[in-house]
Copies of this chain bind each other. A is one copy, B any other.
Amino acid sequence: MARDSILGYAVLGLLHQEERSGYDLRKIFANTPMGTFSDSPGAIYPALRRLEEQGFVRGQLQASSGRRRRVFRPTASGKRAFRTWQTKAITADDIMHRVDDLMLRFAFMDETASPAQAVRFLRDLARGLRRHMPSLRQFLQANARRMPLSGRLALEKGVRDYEELLRWSRRALAKYTKKKGGRRT
């Protein structure tokens, strides 16, 4: 529950979809756009062990013949911990420093929480972004003039990324509210 790595949550989320082995997870991290995470055995297997020690996943040996293979599933407690992490309030700090975590939290929303929670998340995100952006724009306006071109362009890109994220959250919200009538939080 407490001080977990994002990798741990990524793993826990993936295990909600279907039971998987460490090797399965490695392949996912190696071959898909989820590959922002490490596919190295030195990251995955210790992460699985930690999750198991915390009681968030349970591993089970498959096929006693030859090739041993342990597949993992989340426990009830693991599901609870994931959902708690995923649906907790979005802080200013999340927006400034952990946008990637936010996207991971959202990516699994329909599977491990609910469309209603997805809507709540998107509204929360949009609100956080609207609060954050004025100070960013202000910094840009105050400093852009005396910055060299490369620095200015990099900074503008940073601001633009947040604007894009806000636009994305609005489009996403529209898809949820149009498609389904689901409104209860």
A residues apposed to B, CB below 8 Å: 32-33, 35-36, 96-97, 103-104, 106-111, 115, 118, 136, 139, 148-151, 153-155, 157-161, 164-165, 168, 172, 175-176, 179
* A148 contact set on B, CB distance < 8 A: 110-111
Chain B residue, CB-CB nearest to A98: B36
Distance in Å: Cβ of A26 to nearest Cβ of chain B: 15
Q: Can you list 6 A-B pairs, Cβ within 8 angstroms, ordered by A?
A: A103-B158, A108-B150, A109-B150, A110-B150, A153-B168, A160-B164
Residue of B nearest to A118 (CB): B150
Q: Tell me, in angstroms, the Cα distance from A108 to B175 when the chains sit together.
A: 40
Residue of B with least CB distance to A153:
B172
User: CB < 8 Å: which of B154, B172, B176 contacts A103?
Assistant: B154
Q: Are the CB atoms of B111 and A155 closer together than 8 Å?
A: no
Q: A157-B168, A160-B164, A160-B168 are in contact. Are A149 and B110 (CB under 8 A)?
A: yes
Instruction: Write out the residue numbers on chain B whose beta carbons fall within 8 Å of the beta carbon of A97.
Output: 35-36
For A157, list chain B residues within 8 Å (CB): 103, 165, 168
Question: Which chain B residues border A179 with CB–CB below 8 Å?
Answer: 149
Interface centre among A107, A165, A179 (most CB of B within 10 A): A107
Given known A-B contacts A96-B35, A139-B33, A151 and B110 have beta carbons under 8 A apart: yes
> A96 to B32, alpha carbons, bound, how many Å?
10
Q: Which residues of B contact A175 (CB under 8 A)?
A: 149, 153
Within the complex, what minimum Cβ distance (angstroms) separates A140 from chain B? 8
Given known pairs A139-B33, A154-B107, the reply for A176 and B149 (CB within 8 Å) is yes
- CB neighbours (8 Å) of A103 from chain B are 154, 157-158
